[in-house]
Amino acid sequence: MGAIKDLVDLADKLNTSIMDRKTRELLLPLKEAATEAQREIFYAERKHAEEMDKLKAENTTLRAQIDQQPKAEFFPKTGTWIESSTGIHYCPRCRQNGKWSPMQTAKYGWSCPSCDKYAEDPANPGPTSLPPNYDRGTRIL
């Protein structure tokens, strides 16, 4: 915007230093156009600043939502997401649907209270007859 302000100032100086009336009349549209351009840039910068403020607020909200989610890592052996700091297992099926559902510890693994998925604990394999919703081998996500 500095260049346009300089242009307006130059048009003012020329207007005051030129004695010829016709030349002054030729400079007038130039000064008006530069002033209008300066005004448009001012409003565009103001609008840009308002949009940036909105984006910053949205960014802050999204970062807060990310910070609230568990810091979990997927473990193929169990087929679950595990939060390393707490050891809590999270259901992969629910995670795929956008939810963090903590699984409950069962006798031979973990079960999800939301969707009834069952994941085997490889360190504690169960007997051959397991619940019908038990997932041995294939991982249902």
Pair type for strands 134-135 and 118-120: parallel
Using the 3D structure, point to which of 68, 83, 116 is the last residue of a domain: 68
Q: What is the pLDDT of residue 134?
A: 59
The parent domain of residue 90 ranges over 72-135
- Asked if the structure places residue 141 within a domain, the reply is no
Q: How far apart are CA 67 and CA 104, in angstroms?
A: 23
Q: How many domains does the chain have?
A: 2
What residues contact residue 31 under an 8 Å CB cut-off, 6+ apart? 8, 11, 12, 15
Structure confidence by residue, pLDDT tens digits, 89-117: 999 998 888 888 899 988 888 999 998 88
Instruction: Place 57 in a pLDDT band, splitting at 50, 70 and 90.
Output: very high
